[in-house]
Each structure stands twice: as structure tokens, then as C-alpha cells.
Amino acid sequence: MLFFNIPDIFNLGDTARQKYDSHYEQKIARDSRNSVLLEPLEVSLSNLQDIRIRIGTRIGKEVVSGVDMSNPIALLSSADRSLQYAEQAVYAATSTIVGADPHPGYVETENAYIILNQTKNILGTVIDSIQTAVDQASSTSASSTSKKKHVKK
């Protein structure tokens, strides 16, 4: 029994170039670098969408309790638009690895990260405005109760 089949190892016939091409021809979707780039995008987008839902719930609770939330609601609408742009950017980045012309989506991925960061900053601004509105409402209610105490004396 032979351990080495020398003609098959080197295979220098017409099929050598064909085997070389097929060996290095792979779909980009199988490349682990793309998953390393794109998975955090999808996780970040999901986290921002979750934060947006929580902010909406918080605003709803504060409105029910009587706090003026007109400024946070206006900021939230701009955050919603930014979140839609982020969804489109993440979709554009993830769609580069599938489709008619698959290619690594480095530019699209960078754009998606930038838009996600902007969305995160806008949502942070909304949270800050909610806290400001709650603080103003609590200081207003504290001053009105202190005035009532003075009136009763």
C-alpha cells in the first residue's frame, strides 16, 4: 500500500487552475470577519429599540401622573426618525453579504455605526429631558405644598 500518490499530489494537468479557483472561491457570507462586524450592529440596534420602548413607557407614566412632557415627546419624535435611519443603515450593511453582488460592507458598516451612535446620543438627550421635566414638576409641587402650609398657619 502506497502512502503517497505522487501524480495526484501535484496534479499539474489542465485541472490545476480549476482546482485553485474553486478552492479560493467562497461566498462572503461565510467569512467570519463579516459576522464580527455585523453582529454587534444588530445587537446595538436591538438595544436601542428596547431603550426607545422603555422611554415611551416612562413618558406615558409621567404624563399620567401629570408631568408636562411636551419637550421630551418632541425630542422622542426626532429620536424615532434617527432610529429609522439606523434601521435602514444596519439593513444596508447586512445586505452587502447577500444579494446579487456580495461584497464586504466596510463602508456601510462604518456608516451604520455612526448613525447608531447618533441615535444613542439623541435617546440620551430624551432621557435627560425627561429627568429635567420630572425635576421641574417635583420642585413645582414641593413649592406649591410649602405655600399651602404657610397659608394654613
Would the pLDDT of 15 be above 70? Answer: no
Please name the residue that has the C-alpha cell 439593513.
91
Query: How far is C-alpha 5 from the chain's CA centre?
Result: 54
Rounded CA-CA distance 86/41 in Å is 10
Does position 9 have pLDDT exceeding 80, yes or no? no
pLDDT of residue 109: 85
Averaged pLDDT for residues 108-137: 92
Spatial contact of 28 and 105, defined as CB atoms under 8 Å apart:
no
pLDDT at 92: 86
pLDDT at 23 over 80: no
Q: What is the mean pLDDT of residues 117-124?
A: 94
Quick one: pLDDT at residue 3?
53
- Specify the pLDDT at position 24: 46
- CA–CA dist 80, 88 (Å, integer): 12
Where in the chain are the domains?
33-136
